[in-house]
């Protein structure tokens, strides 16, 4: 299946707007947590493509937070980073553990909310600094699930309907079985099929979907 997954190579802009986040049962609790606001800290975790970064972007826009990547968090940068609300994406991979420990403490001391994202629950992060793991395990955490085939099919149907595209059940089943199991991938493939349908003045069919996915795989 991996060779047929829709890649991010499509030349389509990514919108991080709140209205472009597709709420489904697997992410509803995490979305509600973001909408309620983060008092001290929050961890969002789930598989790649499940919407963690989109939720971080939504929260950052709400509170004027800065979003940083793991390599930006160094011991020397902690004081400057802890001057405002902050989101650290992929906090479970390649982060300086001492810097993260001091960041968590300093953000709490200064009263700035902190959002962390990762693939697994904080208790399973591989940091060996005991004090850091204690802080991480104590943070509220929300899991985001990847959609199953039925849910991904429903997402695809909704996205096609939003674009006023009529597609057969066979098209939806074909895509659901082959694209990455994420709402983001579904949004990308529907947008690409919409563009191809308009450009070629033809309906969205299994043949068109197959050609698009083969082009992406190739």
- Domain at 87, CATH number: 3.40.50.300
Alpha-carbon distance 19 to 21, whole Å? 6
Query: What pLDDT, on a 0 to 100 scale, did the predictor assign at position 14?
Result: 61
Range of the domain at 184: 147-217
Confidence of residue 152 (pLDDT cuts 50, 70, 90): confident
Residue 2 lies in a domain: no
Which residues is 118 bridged to in the sheet?
Answer: 45
Instruction: Tell me which of 184 and 9 has the higher pLDDT.
Output: 184
Where does residue 36 rank: exposed (0-12), middle (13-18), buried (19+ CB within 10 A)? exposed
State pLDDT tens for residues 29-82: 999 999 999 999 999 999 887 889 999 999 999 999 999 999 999 999 999 999
Query: Per the structure block, which two tokens stand in for 185?
Result: 């991938």
Pinpoint the alpha helices (H) of 48-204.
Answer: 52-63, 78-81, 97-110, 130-138, 149-162, 169-176, 183-200
Query: Per the structure block, which two tokens stand in for 117?
Result: 């994202």
Predicted structure pTM score: 0.76
Whether residues 128 and 24 fall in one domain: yes
Residue that finishes a domain, picked among 143, 163, 180: 143
Instruction: Tell me which of 158 and 135 has the higher pLDDT.
Output: 135
Round the average pLDDT of the chain to a whole number and report it.
90
- Residue 128: pLDDT over 80: yes
Count up the domains in the chain and report the number.
Answer: 2
Give the closest residue to 21 by CA, choosing from 56, 60, 62, 51: 51
Query: What pLDDT, on a 0 to 100 scale, did the predictor assign at position 96?
Result: 97
Whether residues 35 and 135 fall in one domain: yes
Alpha-carbon distance 8 to 64, whole Å? 27
Whether residues 51 and 100 fall in one domain: yes
CA 99 vs CA 29, 84, 95: distances in Å: 29, 16, 8
Alpha-carbon distance 91 to 45, whole Å? 10
CA 176 vs CA 6, 166, 186, 187, 193: distances in Å: 11, 16, 8, 12, 14
Instruction: Tell me which of 20 and 193 has the higher pLDDT.
Output: 193
């Amino acid at each position: 299946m991996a060779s047929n997954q829709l890649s991010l190579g499509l030349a389509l802009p990514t919108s991080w707007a709140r209205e472009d986040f597709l709420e489904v049962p697997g992410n509803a609790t995490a979305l509600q947590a973001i909408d309620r606001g983060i008092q001290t800290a929050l961890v969002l975790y789930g598989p790649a493509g499940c919407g963690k970064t989109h939720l971080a972007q939504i929260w950052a826009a709400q509170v004027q937070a800065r979003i940083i990547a793991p390599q930006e968090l160094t011991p020397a940068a902690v004081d400057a980073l802890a001057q405002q609300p902050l989101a650290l994406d992929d906090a479970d991979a390649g982060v300086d553990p001492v810097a993260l420990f001091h960041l968590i403490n300093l953000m709490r001391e200064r009263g700035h909310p902190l959002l962390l994202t990762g693939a697994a629950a904080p208790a399973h992060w591989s940091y060996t600094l005991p004090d850091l793991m204690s802080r991480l395990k104590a943070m509220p955490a929300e899991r985001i699930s990847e959609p199953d085939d039925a849910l991904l099919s429903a997402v695809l149907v909704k996205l096609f309907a939003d674009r006023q595209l009529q597609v057969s059940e066979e098209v939806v089943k074909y895509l659901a079985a082959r694209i990455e199991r994420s709402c983001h991938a579904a949004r990308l493939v529907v947008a690409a099929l919409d563009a191809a349908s308009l450009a070629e003045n033809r309906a969205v069919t299994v043949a068109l979907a197959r050609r698009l996915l083969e082009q992406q795989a190739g």
